Amino acid sequence: MSPADIQNDMREFLDSLAQDRYLIAAESAELCAQQDTHFSYSENPKTLFTYNAQQNPDDQKTYGDTQEVLGQEYIQNPAVHACQIETTNRCNERCIHCYIPHKFKNVILPYEVIENILEQLHELGTLNLTLSGGEFFCHPDAEKILRKARELDFSFNELSNITLLTPHMIEVLKETNPSMIQTSLYSVYPEEHDHITQLPGSCEKTKASIDALIAASLPVQISCPVMHTNYKTYKDVLKFAYDRNCKAQTDFVMMARYDFTTDNLSERLTMEETEELLKEIIQFDKDYLDFTDTPVPPMSREEWGKQKFCGVGLDNLCIASDGIVYPCSGWQGMPCGNVREQPIKDIWEKSPQLNKLRALTKSAIPQCYDCEDRQFCAPCLVRNFNESAGDYLKVAPHFCKASHLNRKLVEEAKAKMRAPK
C-alpha cells in the first residue's frame, strides 16, 4: 500500500469519526472550538435510570468491546487509568448508611499535596479523575482543585451532596467543565431524605442545587441507594430525574464501614424487602430481563479461574484525605503507601498489597464457579473485606442470598412469559 493510500484511508477513518461526532474536524483550532458541542439536556437527554441488581457482566458478555480490550491491556501492563481523590473526609451530612465512620470526619488534604498528586497523575498518563470527600465542597480550596484538574486536562467527575453549592461555584463548574456531577437524592420527601442525611433542610437544598446545575447545563447524575427508609418511595426520585431529563441510578448494595463496624447495615434491605424491590425491577424494566436473557457461553473452570475480579490494582487507585493510598474507595483497611512519603509511581509499582491483588483471580474463591447463582452476583473484594473483618475472600452471606433470590425471581418471570396465554 502506498503512502497516499494510507493517507486516504486515514482521512476516511477520521471523517467517519467526525460524522458520528466522536471528533470535530475543521481547518483550524479556532473553527474546531466554534463547532464544539457542550453537554445539553435537550440534545443529549440522559433519562435512563440503571439498577444495580448484582448481575455479573463478566459472565454475561458474548462480545468484545473497548472496556474489555482495555481490561486485557491493563492485566498485562497495569496503569493508573483512573484515580479517586478523597480531598477531605469532612462532611456536613451524617448519612446513616455511610461507609466512612463519622468519628473520623475531620481531615483535609492540603491543596499543595493535592496539586502535587494531580501533577504526578498527569505524568503517569491518568485520564479519569474523581474528586470526592467526605463532602468535596467542605474543602477550603475546592475551586483551586477544580481549576488545576482542568489545567491538566483530566476528564473528571465530581461527587458531592451539593448542599453547599453557591452561584459562584456553579460558574466555576461551568468554566472547568466536569464530565459529570454525581449527587445523592435519597427521597423527594424531606422527612425521609433528611432522616438519612441527618441534616435538616438537606432535601430541599439538594433538589434546588440539582435544578440550578441543570439550568446551567451542567451534567448531573442522581444516585438513589435503596434502603429501609426509602424503598417505598425511591421511584419518586427516578420520576424527579425523568422530569428533568437527568440520569438516575439506584441500587440496594450497601457496604459495611471500613473500620469493620456494621451498625450502618441496619438500613440494609431485608430479604423480604429485596424481593419486593426485585419484583418491581422485573416488572418495570424490560432491559433488565433482556440483559439476564443473554446466552452465556460455556466456560471451563480453568478459564473462569483465570479471570480477574475487577480493576483493583490494575487500572485504578484511591487516595484518601490523609494521603494514604488504598486499592479503591472504601478499602481503607488496606493501606498501600502514602503520597506524602513516596511517589505515586513507586507505590503503584512496588506496593506488596497492590502486587498481591494484581495476581488475584477468581480461582481464589473456587466455590463460586459451582454456584448456580453466579450470573446474578458480582463479588466485590472491598465489600467482603469490610464485612468480614478484613477477609476479602470471604463472601458475605447476605449477597449470596440476594443473588439466589434474584435468579429465582428472574426465572419465574421468564417462565410466566413463556407460558401459553
Q: Return d(Cα 14, Cα 25) in angstroms, integer.
A: 8
C-alpha cell belonging to residue 81: 487509568
pLDDT given for residue 189 in this prediction: 98
Q: What percent of the chain has pLDDT over 70?
A: 89
- Which range (45-49, 117-121, 186-190, 197-201) has the least confidence? 45-49
- Which range (95-109, 121-135, 276-290, 365-379) has the least confidence? 276-290
Asked if residue 212 has pLDDT above 50, the reply is: yes
> Which H or E element spans position 167?
helix 167-176
Q: Return d(Cα 139, Cα 97) in angstroms, integer.
A: 22
Q: Residue 378's closest CA among 399, 408, 359, 354?
A: 399
Q: Is residue 149 within 8 Å of 126, Cβ to Cβ?
A: no
C-alpha cell belonging to residue 6: 494510507
pLDDT given for residue 75 in this prediction: 81
Q: Return d(Cα 330, Cα 132) in angstroms, integer.
A: 12
Average pLDDT over residues 163-182: 97
pLDDT given for residue 61 in this prediction: 44
Contacts of 419 (CB under 8 A, 6+ apart): none
pLDDT one-digit tens code per residue, 10-26: 888 888 877 776 678 88
C-alpha cell belonging to residue 367: 466455590
Average pLDDT over residues 204-208: 98
Please calculate the CA angle 157-127-49 and round it to the nearest 5 degrees.
40
Asked if residue 34 has pLDDT above 60, the reply is: yes
pLDDT given for residue 98 in this prediction: 92
Q: Residue 162's closest CA among 99, 114, 115, 209?
A: 209
Average pLDDT over residues 319-334: 94
Asked if residue 325 has pLDDT above 70, the reply is: yes
